Structures are given as structure tokens and as C-alpha cells.
Amino acid sequence: MARTPTLIVIFQRGAMDGLNVVVPYTDGSYYDLRPQISIAPPGSAEGGIDLDGRFALNPALAMLKPLYDAGELAAVHAVGNMLADRSHFSAQARMEVAGNTGGGAAGGWLGRHLATTSRAAERRIRGISIGAALDQSLAGSVDVAAIASSADFQLRSRDAQLWTPALQLLNDGVAPSYVSQSERVFTVLDLFQQKRPDEIAVAEDAHYPATSYGDALKQAAQYIKADIGVEVITLNISGWDHHASENAFLPPVLDQFGKGLVALRTDLGALFQNVTVVSMSEFGRRARENAAAGTDHGRGSAMFVMGGGVRGGRVIADWPGLSPSALDDGDLRISIDYRDVLAEILAHGSAGAQLAEVFPGFTPGRTVGLY
């Protein structure tokens, strides 16, 4: 039986500064706006790593260049949610809910995708949010579970055989969401009992960062390698909110982010062909730096897409420019809707994707051309 294709969604919480991650080094305004924190052009000391003659990777992401060169990794720039405001919390929620007018839809975009492609009557785990709580993007499907750690996911009572039926009885008939979560616990316990994902070893040459993000990626690979049938995995990396001293604080989080992607790619081996990874952040940062050598909340940012079928080695952008008249209230203008990127990924991975229901009211803008 063919293996289930898996989509891994990485949310970079805190608003990644797309301008200092995929650097528009040929746009002269970039250097005018950021005298303290700009990344020097490729070829200079501590300069960026050239991607396509227009954009350069932040040098802290050097480890991604081989994936880019191998055609497995693409960047999308000046991308974002045109319906976002500049609040982290409401912008993250709007992006994960992906309704047409900010809120206005039940559940999240991945939850709706799973609910509208549900095939079987029997319940199984099709989506996993790695963490103690479910990511909002997965809400709206009953076939999803938040799992902080597959190794810890066991009933540790020494009376587990008695507790299991007793808890099922005690939880039955209370509020439906409570009953449903309780049932999901037992579904996952059974699944892990059969497949034992936590016992799958990491490939010898794969080195995940020793952080919760690195651990989440490692677990994602274990679920894929154990063939538990999961279609969507969400995980998070925080630490992107650099209002001050950005060049001290951005490189370490980029280092973690990039090393994690490389480790995942290595660890998955041949299974990588069946996997797509996409990263997203709630908005970008103000084009002009502040006096504290940081950046405040902005608009457009960048996304990365990595996967077996992806036509990588490209920076996809309708570059709006950073000249004063091109800016959107001081920020990088959004020229590609993030939903165009996600819709293309869903359509590629699943022939039955119901995009009109996943992204209600959304009119596709542009063919991004990821595949």
C-alpha cells in the first residue's frame, strides 16, 4: 500500500523578519532603511549567501544552501496575509483560521481540509499538532490530536487496565468536546501500541537541534517513518520578535531553524519524496529599523517550502520594492497571498482538496508554481 503523503507546517511565532532572512540586496532602499542591521551583499565580509542574483540568504542559514542548490527548497517573498493586523495574537489566529474577513470560519484551514476530505466512517489520527495544545490551524476536525511527546504518551497508572474502562465510563456523556478528546486519547494509545513511533531511531547523520523545535521535527520524522498514516503535522518555533538588537538575536534562531530542516531532510531519506514542509509567520517587520537596532511589526515576510516534488532552487517573488512610495505604511507590501502558497500545496498533496471550503471566500490570485 502506498504511503500517505505528509505535510509538515512550521509556524514561526513572533513575526520573522523576511527582509533580513531572504535579503533583497539589489534593492538599494534596503540599505538606506537599515543602516545598523542590514546584511551586507554577497561577497563582502559577513555578507549574505547569493540565491539568484537578487536575493541572498542570511549567513546564519548557510546550511540551507545545499538544499536550495539541490532544487529541494524554494523561498517565497513579499508574501503574507493581506487581512492581518499588526497584533501577533490576532494575526496568528487569522492566519491559522484563514477565514475571509479575519475570523469568520469554523476551525482552522488544516482542520477544514481534513474534515472535507474525510473518507472513512472510522476515526483515525490524520493530523497531529506537536505540543501540549492543539494548534488552531488543525481545529475543526475530530481526526486530530495534540501530542507533546510520543514517548510520554502512555497511561502511567499501575492499574491501567482498570483505569481505561473506568475513565471511559466516567468521561462518557459529559460535554461533547470532552468526550471526544477522551476518545482520542484511547485511539492514539492504541495506534502507538501498534506502531511504536518513539522507538524509531534517528538516522545517524541527522542532527536535530536540542530544542523543543528540534524535538518536534524529530517526532514528525518518527511518525512518518513509522507509517502511522498521518497526513498533516503542525509544529512551532518561537523567538522571532526582535524589537531590539536584532543581529544578536536573529542568527541563533535561524541557526536552529535551518539545522532542524537539514536534519529532517537527512533523517527522512527516501521518504522525503513524499513530504512537503512549509514555514510561515504571522507578518514581517517594519522596513526601517528602530534606534534600538531592532524592527517593529510590519507586513510582508518570506516563506520556505521544501519537499520531494517541489521545484526548488528559486526565490518566488513579485518584488514590490522598498522605495518610499512602494512601501505599505512603512512596510514591505504583500504581493503574494499566503493562501495561494498553501492552496497549491494542498492541491498537490491531495487530489480531493476542497479549496473553496478550506479558504472560504478566497479568490486565488497567482499560480505560485511550487511544483
Partner 1 sequence: MERREFLQHCGLLSVAGYLTACGSSDPLAVGEDPLGGLDPQAAAAPLPPPDPLVHLLKRSRFGTTAADLAAARALGINGYLDQQLSPQMLPDLVELQAAARFPITELPLTAAYYADAFELSQITRQLAEKTIFLGTYSDRQLFEVMVGFWTDHFNIDNVTGTLPRTKPDFDRNVIRANAFSSFRSLLQASAKSPAMLEYLDGRSNVADGPNENYARELMELHTLGVDGGYSEADVKEVARCFTGWGINGTTRMFEFHPQRHDAGEKRVLGTVIPAGGGVEDGEAVLDLLASHPSAARFIATKLVRHFVADQAPAAMVEAVSAAFGASDGDIPTLLRALFLHPDFANYADYKLKRPFNYVCGALRAYDNDASHYPGTELLSLLSRLGQVPHRWFAPDGYPDVASYWLSASGLLERWNFAAELVETRGLLGESPASALVEAGMSAEQLVDALAAKLVMRALRVSDRAALIAIAGSDGPLAGEALNLAAERVAGLLLASPYFNLR
Q: Which is nearer to partner 1, 68 or 257 (CB)?
A: 257
Query: Within positions 30 to 69, which residues make up the interface with partner 1, using CB under 8 A?
Result: none
Is residue 203 a contact point for partner 1 (CB under 8 A)?
A: no
Q: Which is nearer to partner 1, 242 or 265 (CB)?
A: 242
* Strand pairing category for 73-80 and 301-307: antiparallel
User: Which of 29, 100, 116, 149 lies at the binding interface for partner 1 (CB under 8 A)?
Assistant: 149
| Residue listed under C-alpha cell 538544499 | 67
- In whole angstroms, what is the distance from residue 268 CA to residue 1 CA? 19
Is residue 152 a contact point for partner 1 (CB under 8 A)?
A: yes
Q: Which is nearer to partner 1, 6 or 150 (CB)?
A: 150
Cβ(305)–Cβ(369) below 8 Å:
no
- In whole angstroms, what is the distance from residue 244 CA to residue 318 CA? 29
Is residue 131 a contact point for partner 1 (CB under 8 A)?
A: yes
CB of 92 to partner 1, least distance (A): 9
Query: Within positions 269 to 288, which residues make up the interface with partner 1, using CB under 8 A?
Result: none
Query: Within positions 78 to 107, which residues make up the interface with partner 1, using CB under 8 A?
Result: 85-90, 106-107
CB of 355 to partner 1, least distance (A): 19
Strands (E), the chain: 6-13, 22-23, 49-50, 56-57, 73-80, 127-130, 144-147, 232-238, 275-281, 301-307, 315-316, 336-337
Segment contacting partner 1 (CB under 8 A): 1-9, 20-28, 146-154, 257-265? 146-154
Phi and psi at 325, nearest 5°, equal -75, -20
Q: Which is nearer to partner 1, 31 or 153 (CB)?
A: 153
CA 132 vs CA 109, 112, 153, 199, 276: distances in Å: 20, 21, 11, 20, 24
**CA-angle at 236, arms to 78 and 58, nearest 5°:** 45
CB of 165 to partner 1, least distance (A): 4
The mark string for 155-184 relative to partner 1 (x by CB under 8 A, - otherwise) is: xxxxx-xxxxxxxxxxxxxxxxxxxxxxxx
CB of 341 to partner 1, least distance (A): 24
With CB under 8 A as the rule, give the number of residues binding partner 1: 74
- In whole angstroms, what is the distance from residue 265 CA to residue 257 CA? 13
Segment contacting partner 1 (CB under 8 A): 130-138, 275-283, 319-327, 362-370? 130-138
Is residue 185 a contact point for partner 1 (CB under 8 A)?
A: yes
- In whole angstroms, what is the distance from residue 281 CA to residue 106 CA? 21
User: Which of 18, 24, 48, 111 lies at the binding interface for partner 1 (CB under 8 A)?
Assistant: 111
User: Which of 17, 72, 96, 289 lies at the binding interface for partner 1 (CB under 8 A)?
Assistant: 289
Cβ(125)–Cβ(187) below 8 Å:
yes
Query: Within positions 321 to 340, which residues make up the interface with partner 1, using CB under 8 A?
Result: 329
Question: DSSP state, 138?
Answer: G
Question: DSSP state, 180?
Answer: H
Segment contacting partner 1 (CB under 8 A): 54-62, 186-194, 229-237, 340-348? 186-194
Is residue 212 a contact point for partner 1 (CB under 8 A)?
A: no
Strand partners, 276: 7, 307
Question: DSSP state, 106?
Answer: S
